[in-house]
Structure formats: structure tokens, C-alpha cells
Structure 1
Amino acid sequence: MGMTDNAASPRSALTEPTVRVGRRWISAWTAALFGMYMAYYAAAQIVLPEQAEAVAGDGKVALLAIVTGVASIVTIIVVFLSGVLSDRTLSRRGRRQPWVLTGAVITGVFVAGQGFATTALAMVAVWALANVGISLMTAGLFAAVPDEVPVTQRAYVSSFYSNAVAVGPLVGIALVSVLVTDIQPGFLLLGLFALVLGLPYALGTRGPQLLVAERPPLSIRSTLVGIVAPLRHADFAWAWSGRFFIQLSNALAQVFLYFYLQDYVHYADPEIGTLILVVVYTVGVVVAALPCGRISDRTMKRKRMVVIASVLQGLAGLIMAFLPFFPAAIVAALVLGLGYGAYAAVDQALVTQVLPHPEDRGKDLAVINIANVLPYAATGLIGGTVISLFGYPTLMILVLVTAVIAALTVWPIKAVQ
């Protein structure tokens, strides 16, 4: 079967795609993800904390918590609503492309504009609007995969998502840490990248057009019911649970990494140590994602690969719990990256195979995205409590436990091998 540079074909938007996407489509889709994650993570991890300190001084931690907390709530709401609305979009370019375009513009404008926020209220408001744009892009790009990519190519395509979510933040952090170190130019650069890298997919590809007769009805009641409706399908509910626990495992391993090195490993320079471990982790993700995606597409046995990847990620926590030495932390970072890289590529493909209804792909993937966001919102409370009561070894054991739970939730899924 031939390849195509975009997956559009004269078929219903609600049928399964059969024509493989080509390199140009994959490159454009990956570039949009890369720019989005570069802007989000580099801003959130470097420039936003610097801005919080400049605005609030000693109150920087509280301000940053409010800014990111409000943004998390916005993300959950907007991703869901944009998924619902993109499922009903009749654009000739496809259901998802207009939303990616709108999201790229909003992201670019408000990430760039974040540098001009000089009060706490302005910081909260502008970053919330930036997350509106990021949420629109997320909903559109994730739903594009089941819309435009055949099932036998989805893990391979999803491996580029793994690479984008690992390499994009690293490049962004390097840019605002080394090349552009001032707050305002840093935000401007990140906003520009988010906009420019989002355009090739939004303007250069076409998805299958939804016809008026295929358009699902829309009401407030159906929208609210739509939040929980897919969870009534056992396969979808198990997939949602697995995503929640693997993201919780990954978050617990990474969010407190700086303090783990400082307080438990007693590494001399935890900032440099954290950077080294992030680089090693990224290498692991990139090395694992592509070959695991190819193997999964060739064999169509998703569950086994997800289980192996989950357990591998959990083993990183075991290493960090009982070997408090920096060389061991490097090994753990590599293992964590290999596990998460394999997981992200294959599980993203698995999830697209358990979506209950083709007319609700965007909305249902938005529900899956809640399982991506909630763990990071809860990690601060869970991790902080565990560290204060039991210490870092228990925290890292929890990394293992949650990863094993994620592995166990995959086995009951019946629609996927």
C-alpha cells in the first residue's frame, strides 16, 4: 500500500484510515508537537519560575503554584471542550487542522506575551491563556492520529510523539538557559517557535472532511455525559487507568529529582546533576521509542510491550531507592527513559484502538489526556507527604509500585493483543 504525505482521501471521516502517512505528514505533525512541548516545558521549568521570583520575591513558590494550578484546570477543561468541538468541525482541511492552527497562534501570542506580565494577576491570566492555545493544539494533534494514520502505523508515528515530548523540552531549556537568558526575550523566543513549528501541520496537511450528515448532535447534556461515557467501556477504562498510573510513576521520579540529588544522594551540584540526568533520560526515550514502535506495528502485540516498558520504568525507582549514588542515578535515568520511551510510543497507539466511537475520537482522547494531567497536579501533594513522613526511598518504591499497577491494568484489555 502506498505512502502519502497527508492522510486525506475521499472517505468518510468516521471510517478507519488505510493509506499510510508519509514523511512530510509525520515531520509536520512532529514539528508541531516539538514546538508546543518546547514552549510549555522550557517556560514552566525555567522562565516562569524566574518571572515568579522577579514578581513575588520570597512568595515565588506560592505564586508559581497558583499560576501552574490555574493552568492545569484550564488545560483539563479546554482540551475536553476542544475535543468535543473538533469532532464536529466541517472544515475542508479536516476536523483537526483548524484547531491546531488556532492553538498555534494563541500559544505563540500568549507565550510571547507572558514576558510582559509584571504582576501576579497578569502572570496567572496570561499563562492560563497560553495554556488555552496549548490545549487546542494537544486536542487536535492527538486526535489526528486515529483520524489519519492506519492502525498498523500508529505506534511508529507515536514514537515521534515520544521523541518530541523528550527532546523538545531539552532544547527549549538549553535555549533559555544558555542562548537567551533574560525573561522577556526567553518567552518571545519560545512563543515564536511554538507558532512557526505549528504551521506546517495546520496549513500543509489535510485530514478527511466530516460531512454534515455525519456530524454528531451537540448539547450541554451530551457534552457533560461525554466526560464519563467512554469510561463505561471496559477497555477504555483500563487504558485510562494505565495511563494515569504510568504518568504518576514518571512524575514521582522526576518532579523531586533536584531535591533527591541534594538531600539523599548529597550530590555537590544538584542543578548540574539534574541537567545530566535529564539528558540521559532523553537519550533513553529517543533510543527506545522508534524501534519499539516499529516492533509493535509489525507484530500488533501492544500489551506485551506496554507491560515490559512499565516494569522497566518501575525498575528505575528501585535503583534510586537503594543505590543513593550519582552513577546509579545515571543508570536509573537511562532505564526510566528507555521504559517511558517504549511506553509512550506503544500505549498511544493502543489507546487509539480502544476508542468507543469514531465520531467522538477527539473528545475521548481528551478524556485520556485528563489521565496525563491529573498525576502531575497530584504529585506535589503525594510526593511531598511521602518524603516528609517516610523519606526518599519510599518515594522511589512508589515509583515502582505505580508502574507495576500500570502494567497490570493492560492485561484485561480485550480489543488489543
Structure 2
Amino acid sequence: MSQNSGNTPAWQDTVLDSQQPKAPIKIGIATGIGALLWLGPYLGVNAVLLPAKVEQVIPSQKAQVVALLASAAMIVATLANIVIGGFSDLTRSKWGRRTPWILIGSVGSLITLAWFNMSGTVPMMVISWSCYQIFLNAIVAPLLAFLQDQVAPKHRGTISSIYAFGYVIGQYGGQVVGAQFLGNVGTGILVMGFLTLLSGPVAALIVREPSSKGMPKKSFTFNMFLQNFIFPLHNAKDFYLALFGKMMINTATTAIMGYQLYILSDYIKLNTAGQQKYVSIISMILMVTAIVMSISAGPVSDKMHSRKVPVFIAALLVAVGVIFPAFTNASWSMIVYGLLAGLGMGIFFAVDQALNLEVLPNPQTAAKDLGILNLANTGSQILGPIVAASIVTAAHGSYFGIFPVCAALALIGGVLILFVNEHRDVKAQQEEAK
């Protein structure tokens, strides 16, 4: 952020506790609404409308094509997070470092989703869906960086909870909305595109990011390239523990969410009306339980002075929830899954971004590094279907194996998080104050 000293702007990458006595609630509101408006539409398409469109285009290979789309998207999203995040960290403009990118991303997401909607062949779907990932991640990484730029460490649990409130509604509410368009998939995809269009502008209007022209210019050198455009190499052990731990926990739920339409039809044996009903019920349960926990878990995390313990508890709840349908294919087993996994993911989302900020190797490359860490969220939305498809293919069409494998992933992820060294934000402040 920038502050004025007389008429000369002084540049700061972040805010110290001493400079921010009150929690910046508007930053939480802006990022929460921004997350709701990109994540909800994305998951409404990715988890519901994309599988339905694939089934219309090539029903005989639907699981394989969904996995192909997920694989291509994962590669593109990874590169986009790094490159766009890196350029955002270096952007000097009167609108700030983040605002130009979230605006471009919002417009581009609408255009590329409309293109995907018109695609009638597998190659064209792969290309348009991959382009959509580029613009979507132009929203994601810079939006998250507002938390690093403008929120002091002591407030990050609380602000992360506000962010999580919007994120959770998007996480599950998007699927509820998407399910209403199963009878008209094309219209649903366009509606999701127009909702995404609002994400960047709404967040930008609330934040009103200060100018970044006071930020020192950086010459393009090899060292600058290494710092701003590749995965962090130094002081990054906790960064990677958090990245892979959270990705495993997320993958455990997204593997089921991404294939829940097929699970309900081929494993639970529901007809189209039943599928639509249970997608809505499960998503609503996931959303309500997650909202309840997300509101309370962030402030509790601040009082505990711990992020990793709540995340480990969340992983345990997710593991129990996702394995439950393995014991019976009765439809109510998916409701039990929704209840337990929802409680776990509510805790997880509430402290997720606070944990991310605590393990950043360098505040000067916050957007790039947060973009990489966000692969634990967006990347798992892509990785989950790949894991599920591999299990289903190996089992010759059976969906049973998804449940124990995903439970194991959640537990492994929770254990990795336990090895994170906490309170790095305090150390960073001490070094910055010297």
C-alpha cells in the first residue's frame, strides 16, 4: 500500500500491526464479494454444467473428456497464476497493482465462457476452457493479494473469515444455481459468465486501491525474473507444506464434487429429477454448514494464535465425510457426506487465506506466490476430476473407490499442514521494522 508523507508517496508492500489498530472490514467485504462472483460461476460450470455439456457432446466418453478438460486447465491455470501474479506485483499505475488485472480478468472470463458455450467439438472445448482459465486467474491472484497488501497480520484471521463467507457461498451456492440450468445448459453457462463479469469491478469499487506509481521501478534482470516469475526457491519450506497439504484436502472434496452428477446417476442410481434434487440438497447442506463454521473459525484462529490446528481438524472431518458413502449407496449417505465435509471445509476456508499469508516467502511477490498457493483451491478443482477419472477407469466404471482414496488424501493433507512453522508473520514484521 502507499501512504502520503507530505506530497511524496511512500511505498509499502504491506501493513504492520502498529499501523492498523482496527480491522479493515471493507477489504474482507470486497474480497469476499469478489470471490463469490468468480468462484460461484466457475463451480456452477465446472462441477455441474461442464459435465452436462460434455455428456451432450460425447456421452460415450464423458468421464475421459472431463478429465482431459481438467488436465489442460490445470496446466494453463498454473502458468497463468505465476505469470499474471508476477506482472501484478510489478504493475505501477494510478489504479494500483491489482485493479487493472481483476478488471481485465472479469471481461475476458465472460468472453471465453461464451466461446466455450458455443463449442461443439472436444478440441474446441479444450481450447476455449483453457483460455477461460487464463482470464479467471487474472481475477484470482490479484484479488487475494489485497489481503497481503492492506491487512495487518493481527487482523488476518478475522478478515480471512469475512473473505471465507463469500468464498463458501460461491463454493456451494454456484452448484445450486448451476443445477437449476441442467435443463438448459447453454443459458446456464452464459448466466455464469455475466456473474463473473461483476467480480472485478465490484471488488475494485469497494477497495479503491491507491496508486502504485510510488513503487520503485525494477529493471528486467535474470534475478528479477527468478524472483517474480518462478516458484519460490528460498525460505519456502512452509510455503510448499501449505500448498501440497491444502491441495490434498481440497482434492478430497472436489474429486467427489466434480463427479457428483455421475455418482448420483451411476452409483446412487438416481434419475435426472433425483440428480437435480440431490445436487441442490447436498450443495445447500455443504453451504450452510460451511458458512456457520467459516463465521466463527477465523476469529477463534486469531485467539488460538494458530492456523494449522484448525486446518488439521478440518481435514479429519472431511476424511470422515467423504468415506461415508463407501459403506452404502443409499441416497442419504451423500447427505451425511455433505454435513461432515461442510463442517470441515467451513473451518478450512475460514483460516485458509490467513495460513497462506503466514507462509509467504516474500511480500514483494505476494500476488505471484498467493496465486501459486491458490492452486491448492483452483488447482484441486481441476485435479479432483483427474483423480476421480483415474479411479473410475481403473475400476472399469465403478465409483466406489473414490471414497476411500479421497479420505486418505484428506488425512495426508492434514498431517502435512501440522509440519508448518507458524507465526512467520510476526518474524516478518520484526525484520521489516529493523
Give the 5 Å matches for 1:201-280: 201-207=203-209, 209-210=211-212, 214-219=216-221, 222-223=224-225, 226-230=229-233, 233-262=236-265, 264-265=267-268, 269-280=274-285
Matched, 1:303 2:308: yes
The question of 1:410 aligning with 2:409 is answered no
Of residues 338, 359, 368, the one that matches 1:333 is 338
Residues 179, 276 of structure 2: 8 Å contact kept: no
Instruction: Check 1:112–1:220 CA distance in 2 against 1; reply closer, same or farther (3 A cut).
Output: farther
Q: Please give the alpha-carbon distance, in whole angstroms, between the structure 2 residues aligned to 1:26 and 1:32.
A: 10
How far the C-alpha of 1:240 sits from its partner, in A, is 1.7
Q: In the alignment, what sits opposite 1:358?
A: 363
- Single out whichever of 338-347 and 202-211 deviates more from structure 2: 202-211
The structure 2 residue matched to 1:290, chosen from 295, 310, 319, is 295
Q: Distance in 2 between matches of 1:286 and 1:130?
A: 28
Q: Whole-Å Cα distance in 2 between the matches of residues 215 and 171 of structure 1?
A: 42
Aligned counterparts of 1:220 and 1:58: Cα–Cα separation in 2: 49
State the alpha-carbon separation in 2 of the partners of residues 186 and 265 from structure 1: 25
Distance 2:246 2:11 in 1: 30
Q: 1:394 to 1:175 in 2, by over 3 A?
A: closer
2:107 aligned with 1:108 = no
1:15 maps to what in 2? 14
Bigger mean CA deviation after superposition, 205-214 or 293-302 = 205-214
Partner of 2:76: 74
Instruction: Give the AA of the match of 1:360.
Output: T
Structure 2 distance, partners of 1:327, 1:57, is 27
**Cα shift at 1:295:** 1.1
1:18-33 superposed matches below 5 A: 18-19=19-20, 20=22, 22-33=24-35
SS at match of 2:45: helix
Match of 1:92 among 85, 91, 94: 94
Please say which of residues 368-377 and 307-316 is displaced more in the overlay.
Answer: 368-377
Q: Which moved more, 1:171-180 or 1:143-152?
A: 171-180
In structure 2, distance between residues paired with 1:197 and 1:213 = 26
d(CA) in 2 for partners of 1:385, 1:51: 21
Listed one character per residue, the Cα deviations across residues 93-130 of structure 1 (whole Å, up to 9, x for unaligned) are 32111111111121123223433444544433333322
| Displacement after TM superposition at 1:135 (Å) | 0.7
* Distance in 2, Cα, partners of 1:315 & 1:57: 32
Q: Percent identity?
A: 24
Provide the TM-score with structure 2 as the length reference: 0.82
Distance (whole Å) between structure 2 residues aligned to residue 180 and residue 380 of structure 1: 19
CA distance in structure 2 between the aligned counterparts of 1:143 and 1:261, rounded to whole angstroms = 38
Deviations 1:133-191 (A, max 9, x none): 11100111111111112222222222344333432254444445437953443333222
State the AA in 2 paired with 1:240: L
Residue 41 (str. 1) matches residue 43 (str. 2) = yes
Change (3 A) 1:261 1:63: closer
Name the amino acid aligned to 1:305.
P
Length, aligned pairs only: 411
Distance 1:275 1:175, change over 3 A: closer
Distance, in Å, in 1 between the alignment partners of 2:390 and 2:67 is 16
Deviation at 1:236, TM superposition (A): 1.5
1:412 maps to a residue whose letter is F
SS in structure 2 at match of 1:92: coil
Aligned position for 1:3: none
Shift of 1:199: 0.9
Cα separation, 2, equivalents of 1:160 and 1:78:
26
Q: Spell out, residue by residue over 1:282-339, the C-alpha distance to the aligned partner (whole angstroms, 9 max, x if none).
A: 1111111110012112332222212211212112134333355433432221110110
- Given residue 410 of structure 1, which amino acid in structure 2 is its aligned partner? I
Q: Which of 374, 383, 398 is matched with 1:369 structurally? A: 374
Q: Which amino acid aligns with 1:144?
A: F
> Which letter maps to 1:106?
G
Offset, 1:358: 1.1
User: How far apart, in 1, do the equivalents of 2:365 and 2:354 lie?
Assistant: 17
Query: Following the alignment from structure 1 to structure 2, what is the Cα–Cα distance between the partners of residues 81 and 159?
Result: 28
Gaps of 5+ in 2: 5-9, 425-434
Shift in CA distance, 217/144, structure 1 to aligned 2, threshold 3 Å: farther
User: How far apart in 2 are the matches of 1:50 and 1:242?
Assistant: 31
Residues 32 and 164 in structure 2, CA contact (< 8 A), matched pair in contact too:
no
